[in-house]
Structure 1
Amino acid sequence: MTFAAPSPIPSRTEYVLEAIKRGILTGGLVPGQALVETELAARFGVSKTPVREALKTLAGTGLVVMSQYKGVTVRTVDAAMAHEVYDVRLLLEPEALRRSIARRAAFTEAAEALERAATADDNAERSLANREFHRALYLPCGNPLLGRMLDEVRDQAALVSAVAWAVQPSWEKEAAEHEEILRLARAGDADGAAAALHTHIADFVRRAYPEQEADA
């Protein structure tokens, strides 16, 4: 698999980081696959140092796992992992959106993210755009700590979505739900928007991982 270099490249580490992340979200790098520093360095034409730093960053966001015995691997998505991530979102995102509405956020960036998702060329771009949509809802909440807590699970949520879509494409349904959430938010309906967001998050993980529904 080849990776297109972003332009401009902020740094070698950033380039490698984004390339590996895109590979994971497109399925080019599959869950459980080993990520060998020397192989990645050769693929991207860099030394092992930026690869090592990129992998450390990805481990911090939960996209890869570092093991003393197995080395670095792409994180495996299972029902337990998906419900852990989505439980955090269910607890925090609706309240953050409610506060964003109370602060009269314009949600311009959310609308732009919806447009990018609708015109995306692949599920990786769509997943990233969807991630930015949700971030644009909660970031204006007025509590930087709450925003950072939700930022910490963004990549993992994108990975869950990418894996689920590969099995059962449902992005069109989710896009319609996003539009309704944004409509309610822009109308100033905090209760309605928060409820719609909660249902949206809960329904996705329930559809994608029904075997854990009783424990969710």
Structure 2
Amino acid sequence: MTSVPTPIPSRTQFVLEGIKHRILTGQLSPGRPLVETELAAQYGVSKTPVREALKTLAGTGLVVMSQYKGVTVRMVDADMAREIYDVRLLLEPEALRRSVRRRAVLDAACDALDRADAATDTAERSLANREFHRALYLPCGNPLLGRMLDEVRDQAALVSAVAWAADPSWAAEAAEHREILRLARLGDADGAASALHDHIASFLHRAFPGTRQEEGRR
């Protein structure tokens, strides 16, 4: 059987994951221009997969495409953070509540916590943090709910990367994660959901203190 050439989508995925990793670890800071020719040279590809990767990243909210300014990494401010975390506060605790009530196995969440503890850099810690939260909501029994939360996880990670760069709070968050998982494993669906809500809200308040009053009015 003749070999099949590597399709363009695989090169696009390679570039996509590379750019995303650099954005979510702060190597490409908010507002940074993303020039197709430069990225193509860095990744050893033509401009086509770079262009397609940037379009995908724009669709996920990590980059902004402008007719006049070109493509830039999305800026993070209190309004953007509030929008993303408002969605998480509405959906993620409920998803966890359902996961617990379905008696979902949460071993993946425990593994993610261990990886976060062993992380040697921000990139590893960020990835483990994302996987922890996903392991809690994915077994909720509603695939649409899981996909909706998947859609905002990259933007939430961008907010986290910016906040951690200004004020690392990993130790506090790790303790909160363990308490959430402890309650979930005890079968306390409401307690775990409440702890997760407080965890998400407290991070937003620490990173963007001005959001506290507005959220309190909702």
Structure 2, unpaired ranges of 5+: 1-8
Match of 1:94 in 2: 93
Contact 2:23–2:73 (Cα < 8 Å) also in 1: yes
Larger Rg: 2
Equivalent positions of 1:172-183 (< 5 A) are: 172-183=171-182
Count how many residue pairs are aligned between Structure 1 and Structure 2. Answer: 207
Distance 1:175 1:196 in 2: 13
Contact 1:99–1:142 (Cα < 8 Å) also in 2: yes
Distance 1:212 1:98 in 2: 25
- TM-superposed CA distance for 1:121, in Å, is 2.1
Structure 1, unpaired ranges of 5+: 1-9
Match of 2:26 in 1: 27
Contact 2:25–2:126 (Cα < 8 Å) also in 1: no
* 1:196 aligned counterpart, secondary structure: helix
Distance 2:125 2:80 in 1: 21
- TM-superposed CA distance for 1:41, in Å, is 0.1
Q: Deviations over 1:150-207 (max 9, x none)?
A: 0110000101011000000001110110011011111100011001000000000001
* 2:103 aligned counterpart, secondary structure: coil
What TM-score results when the alignment is normalised by the length of structure 2?
0.92
Once the two structures are aligned, what percentage of the paired residues are identical? 78
- TM-superposed CA distance for 1:120, in Å, is 1.5
Equivalent positions of 1:1-216 (< 5 A) are: 11-216=10-215
Tell me the amino acid that sits aligned with residue 159 of structure 1: L
Distance 1:211 1:102 in 2: 35
* 1:35 aligned counterpart, secondary structure: coil
* 1:106 aligned counterpart, secondary structure: coil
- TM-superposed CA distance for 1:213, in Å, is 2.0
Contact 1:65–1:73 (Cα < 8 Å) also in 2: yes
Contact 1:124–1:162 (Cα < 8 Å) also in 2: no
- TM-superposed CA distance for 1:212, in Å, is 2.5
Distance 2:77 2:150 in 1: 21
- TM-superposed CA distance for 1:25, in Å, is 1.6
- TM-superposed CA distance for 1:109, in Å, is 0.9
Q: Deviations over 1:34-71 (max 9, x none)?
A: 10111100111101111111111111111111111111
Cα RMSD of the aligned pairs, angstroms, is 1.1
